């Protein structure tokens, strides 16, 4: 449940009082619990920047928020979503098999009926869902094979319209394969000319391994020409022979793209033999490859040919993290032909990954929170001013939980979502009242987990 925020604006006389004292703090968040910090602090914001973090700020803010000891963190990021396909589930038909291939077939059937207005409307609605739940940095793929590049055009327009509120990066994404479908190279380059921020690719979807390598080489040539980072759908299959990620890493090293290349999905890695996986992870670390895992889609789409036993479909999240590879979590689908559910909650994605990637160890909970915040910011290349620190941009969220563990367990509301010191979204906490025997009380499911 969301509502417009209005209750904490101070009266005009209070503002005048602050003015008369010669010092205005635009916003103060009081009793904030920051990550990796034991005691509560007040956070003062002026002109969109954090100007002070202290146990107690004496000045009054023109706007004051009481975080009440709840977790205040940098905003969530979604480094992998398809905003051109969101909220389209059932149009023109539902995915009956639940497979990736039927999802792609349905998307192909839908493309001729797409309009820019429809893409914009659905994407905007999904962005609102993500913003309401604390996500302010989004990387969306835009299928260049949508007719006449309307997906790219629609999402670039939205990016411009929302530039003061949400950071959006648009990836030129060749869903049908740069060489498996007509005019792939031409459409990719046109998307870059239009202003796409990132070069995509899909080597495992090309007809042959050789074409898959060409797909990657072309992505690098475009990235060099337009000076853009790269984010490739890479080895999104259960086929243990799909090894394009090694080519991606080699090209990153050879062409000096270390730290500017992301491999999305990389699910085949789940099924690689352990000797090969060990060697590969070393190469990924050396190449500075960011790996983006997508818990919702990967959980339901991968290893569909297994029968039983049924392997999990995720990349090797814990092994990658242990060897120093940056791993981030994407939402990927929100009610589309590939995944019919979802609500744009990065906390829910982290919660799912905890289960499917065996990441319930105490220290791993904190890693999961990193994967929807700081790891994603690094993947997006926006880590510079991302952390809550004096002098940085005041992009903050107040989560209705006392710790990362409690946040990932309860999937609570984002009470306040703040962008450059301005409140963008608020959500009222749910209230549960229980009457047992002679007592009636409100419960909030909180147990004060630490970390
Ligand atoms: Zn994707």
CATH of the domain at 197: 3.20.20.140
pLDDT at 7: 35
pLDDT at 22: 45
Please give the sequence-ordered ranges of beta strands (E in DSSP) within 308-444, or none if there are none.
Answer: 327-329, 396-399, 414-419, 422-427, 432-436, 439-443
- Examine residue 253 and state whether it is found in any structural domain, yes or no: yes
- In this structure, the answer to whether residues 412 and 356 fall within a common structural domain is no
**Of the residues 380, 397, 414, the one at which a domain ends:** 380
Distances (CA, A) of 188 to 33, 325, 327: 45, 28, 26
- Examine residue 431 and state whether it is found in any structural domain, yes or no: yes
- In this structure, the answer to whether residues 230 and 177 fall within a common structural domain is yes
Number of domains in the chain: 2
Question: Ligand 1 center to residue 417 CA distance, Å?
Answer: 26
- In this structure, the answer to whether residues 317 and 412 fall within a common structural domain is no
Which residues touch 313 (CB under 8 Å, ≥6 apart)? Answer: 238, 267, 270, 298, 299, 300, 301, 302, 303
Beta-strand pair 261-265/230-234: parallel
- In this structure, the answer to whether residues 256 and 398 fall within a common structural domain is no
- Examine residue 450 and state whether it is found in any structural domain, yes or no: no
- What is the domain extent for residue 12? 2-74+387-443
pLDDT at 451: 62
CATH at residue 412: 2.30.40.10
- Examine residue 294 and state whether it is found in any structural domain, yes or no: yes
Which residues have CB less than 5 Å away from ligand 1 (the ion)?
332
Question: Ligand 1 center to residue 333 CA distance, Å?
Answer: 7
Give the Cα separation of 152 and 141 in Å (integer). Answer: 9
Question: Ligand 1 center to residue 80 CA distance, Å?
Answer: 6
- In this structure, the answer to whether residues 122 and 266 fall within a common structural domain is yes
Question: Ligand 1 center to residue 263 CA distance, Å?
Answer: 11
Whether 254 is a known active-site residue: answer: no
Q: Give start and end residues of each alpha helix (H) in 25-162.
A: 100-110, 116-132, 150-161
CA atoms within 13 A on the CB side of 323: 21
Question: Ligand 1 center to residue 243 CA distance, Å?
Answer: 18
pLDDT at 177: 97
Give the Cα separation of 97 and 304 in Å (integer). Answer: 10
- In this structure, the answer to whether residues 370 and 405 fall within a common structural domain is no
- In this structure, the answer to whether residues 65 and 164 fall within a common structural domain is no
- In this structure, the answer to whether residues 239 and 331 fall within a common structural domain is yes
pLDDT at 14: 52
- Examine residue 451 and state whether it is found in any structural domain, yes or no: no
- In this structure, the answer to whether residues 284 and 319 fall within a common structural domain is yes
Which of 130, 153, 206, 236 is an active site residue? 236
pLDDT at 20: 40
- In this structure, the answer to whether residues 320 and 174 fall within a common structural domain is yes
**Of the residues 380, 407, 422, the one at which a domain ends:** 380
Question: Ligand 1 center to residue 293 CA distance, Å?
Answer: 10
- In this structure, the answer to whether residues 392 and 369 fall within a common structural domain is no
- Examine residue 449 and state whether it is found in any structural domain, yes or no: no
**Of the residues 352, 380, 408, the one at which a domain ends:** 380
Could you count the other beta carbons within 10 Å of the beta carbon of residue 385? 15
Question: Ligand 1 center to residue 49 CA distance, Å?
Answer: 34
- Examine residue 306 and state whether it is found in any structural domain, yes or no: yes
pLDDT at 432: 95
- Examine residue 132 and state whether it is found in any structural domain, yes or no: yes
Query: What does each of the 451 residues of the chain score in pLDDT, given as a tens digit?
Result: 333 333 333 444 455 444 444 457 999 999 999 999 999 999 999 999 999 999 999 999 999 999 999 999 999 999 999 999 999 999 999 999 999 889 989 999 998 999 999 999 999 999 999 999 999 999 999 999 999 999 999 999 999 999 999 999 999 999 999 999 999 999 999 999 999 999 999 999 999 999 999 999 999 999 999 999 999 999 999 999 999 999 999 999 999 999 999 999 999 999 999 999 999 999 999 999 999 999 999 999 999 999 999 999 999 999 999 999 999 999 999 999 999 999 999 999 999 999 999 999 999 999 999 999 999 999 999 999 999 999 999 999 999 999 999 999 999 999 999 999 999 999 999 999 999 999 999 999 998 776 6
* This prediction's pTM: 0.93
């Amino acid at each position: 449940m969301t509502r417009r925020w209005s209750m904490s604006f101070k009266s005009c006389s209070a503002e005048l009082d602050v003015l008369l004292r010669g010092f205005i703090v635009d916003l103060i968040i009081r009793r904030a619990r920051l990550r990796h910090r034991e005691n509560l602090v007040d956070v003062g914001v002026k002109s969109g920047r954090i100007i002070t973090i202290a146990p107690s700020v004496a000045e009054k803010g023109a706007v004051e928020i009481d975080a009440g000891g709840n977790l205040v963190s940098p905003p969530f990021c979604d480094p992998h979503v398809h905003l051109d396909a969101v909220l389209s589930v059932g149009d023109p038909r539902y995915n009956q098999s639940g497979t990736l291939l039927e999802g792609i077939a349905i998307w192909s059937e839908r493309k001729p009926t797409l309009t820019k207005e429809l893409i914009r409307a659905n994407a905007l609605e999904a962005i609102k869902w993500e913003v309401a739940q604390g996500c302010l940095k989004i990387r969306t793929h835009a299928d260049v094979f949508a007719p006449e590049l309307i997906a790219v055009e629609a999402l670039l327009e939205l990016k411009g319209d929302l530039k003061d509120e949400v950071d959006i990066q648009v990836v030129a994404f060749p869903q049908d394969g740069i060489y498996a479908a007509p005019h792939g190279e031409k459409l990719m380059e046109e998307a870059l000319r239009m202003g796409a921020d990132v070069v995509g690719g899909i080597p495992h979807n090309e007809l042959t391994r050789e074409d898959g390598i060409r797909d990657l080489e072309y992505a690098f040539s475009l990235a060099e020409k337009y000076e853009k980072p790269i984010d490739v759908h890479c080895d999104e299959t259960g086929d243990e022979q799909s090894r394009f990620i090694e080519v991606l890493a080699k090209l990153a090293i050879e062409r000096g793209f270390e730290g500017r290349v992301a491999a999305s999905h990389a699910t085949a890695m789940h099924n690689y033999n352990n000797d090969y996986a060990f060697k590969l992870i070393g190469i990924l670390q050396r190449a500075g490859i960011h790996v983006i895992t997508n818990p919702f889609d990967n959980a339901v789409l991968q290893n569909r040919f297994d029968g039983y036993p049924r392997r999990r479909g995720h990349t090797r999240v814990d092994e990658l993290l242990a060897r120093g590879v940056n791993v981030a979590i994407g939402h990927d689908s929100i009610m589309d032909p590939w995944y019919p559910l979802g609500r744009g909650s990065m906390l829910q994605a982290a919660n799912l990954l905890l289960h499917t990637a065996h990441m319930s160890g105490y220290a791993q909970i904190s890693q999961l929170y990193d994967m929807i915040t700081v790891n994603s910011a690094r993947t997006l290349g926006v880590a510079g001013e991302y952390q809550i620190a004096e002098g940085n941009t005041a992009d903050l969220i107040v989560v209705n939980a006392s710790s990362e563990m409690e946040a990932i367990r309860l999937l609570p509301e984002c009470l306040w979502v703040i962008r450059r010191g301005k409140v963008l979204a608020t959500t009222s906490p749910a209230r549960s009242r229980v009457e047992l025997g002679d007592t009636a009380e409100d419960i909030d499911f909180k147990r004060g987990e630490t970390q």
